Amino acid sequence: MDKKHIIFFQTDSFLNDEEFYGLIFQNLKNYGIILLDPDGYIISWNTGAELIEGLKKDEALHNHFSILYTEEDIKNNKPNNNLRQAIVNGLYEENSLWFRKDGTKFWANVSLAALINPKGELKGFSMLMKEITKSDSATDKLKYTDELLNSIKKERTSELIKINKIVQAEINSRKGGEKENNPEVEKIETSLKEKEVLLKEIHHRVKNNLQIISSLLNLQSGYIKDKDSIEIFKESQNRVRSMALIHEKLYQSKDMSQIDFSGYVSELVSNLFGSYSLNSALVTLHQNINNLFLEIDLAINLGLIINELVSNAFKHAFPGGSKGNLYISIKKDKQMYELVIQDDGVGFLPEIDFRKTESLGLQLVISLVEQIGGKIFLFSEDGTKFVINFSV
């Protein structure tokens, strides 16, 4: 068996759910992330759980998760009651006192979510644990959740990019080396088709999993009354959707190495109109992105940038239902690109330095621009205009 075949089968086996989630979660040391089977038995235990609970992975795996509770909690059937509430409500969350293996006490925010597939079948539970002080505010806990979700999204996307490049490189290599008189051509073509089907399935699965995260955010936001906290959940949900849409476009595309970015942006902005309950008759979109096809890693970064800046425009540029225009364009000059996102709304306050703002969205934009090796500029005359220059 040649090396290319070996790489492919390693990639295939890598997609085992337990291994996949284990790889994603193993470096999130500030969070205890535990996966349970439908009966509540521990099937995955990350480094963060080891540090918080003081239990090694081999001590925790295959035990019922009730080993994490006190004897009094077990006597009161609290573990099973928590699982039932997670199934009924989609999510059970609490701040409570816990005990480590060595007997020391600590406060933790714990979220227990039921993992239900599109067919309505219970596939297990996820348990997220964050050590906190008793005085932590509700906003702090929401930030913890947002940080965790962003870490999961980043890790998952990174691994998919690696898989995508490995399989696509093999496909391109084989296509380039084929000869019409090669008796193995038919066999190779069949193998290529199988790999292309697998690659589509990878994107499809990632899109579905991101949609599950989005649904969990939506469920959790239903239990919150504070307006600012609800806004945090909405923003996180929009970020997840922007990434899920990339993978949806890729598995629907004939060329899985690139996506039509113009079509992606149109659908992304349309989703944001719905998220912020805006009437497209009041805010008119002007889009100028023609014949632009981007690879997945760059498309995800630009998609998140556009998501944040358009969201800011929808939230702040047109107060009180006022009318206005939103302009999105990408121009190319040789290898240099210029992304412009502009509105003719109330404008950015001159005393605010957007590079030093406490806004998580703008901090994320600045970080993403740095990741693609670009530069960002703000112009505040007649509205707000962000210009981002980058090369490919």
> Where do the structural domains in the chain lie, given as residue ranges?
31-136, 258-392
Look at residue 24 in the predicted model and tell me its pLDDT. Answer: 58
pLDDT reading at 52 higher than 80: yes
Class of domain 31-136: alpha beta
Q: What percent of the chain has pLDDT over 90?
A: 15
The CATH label, of 3.40.50.880, 3.40.605.10, 3.30.390.50, 3.30.565.10, for the domain at 258-392 is 3.30.565.10
Is residue 334 pLDDT above 90, yes or no?
no
Share of the chain above pLDDT 70, in %: 68
Using H for helix, E for strand and C for coil, what is the string for the chain? CCHHHHHHHHHHHHCCHHHHHHHHHCCCCCCEEEEECCCCEEEEECHHHHHHHCCCHHHHCCCEHHHHCCHHHHHCCHHHHHHHHHHHHCEEEEEEEEECCCCCEEEEEEEEEEEECCCCCEEEEEEEEEEECCCCCHHHHHHHHHHHHHHHHHHHHHHHHHHHHHHHHHHHHHHHHCCCCCCCHHHHHHHHHHHHHHHHHHHHHHHHHHHHHHHHHHHHHCCCCCHHHHHHHHHHHHHHHHHHHHHHHHHHCCCCCEEEHHHHHHHHHHHHHHHCCCCCCCEEEEEECCCCEEEHHHHHHHHHHHHHHHHHHHHHCCHHHCCEEEEEEEEEECCEEEEEEEECCCCCCCCCCCCCCCCHHHHHHHHHHHHCCCEEEEECCCCEEEEEEEEC
Confidence of residue 353 (pLDDT cuts 50, 70, 90): confident
> Which tens digit of pLDDT belongs to each residue from 101-146?
888 878 888 989 888 877 778 888 989 888 876 444 455 555 555 5
44-58, 196-210, 230-244, 247-261: which is most confident: 44-58
pLDDT in tens, 280-313: 778 899 999 988 888 878 888 898 899 889 988 9
Which pLDDT band holds residue 64 (cuts at 50, 70, 90)?
A: very high
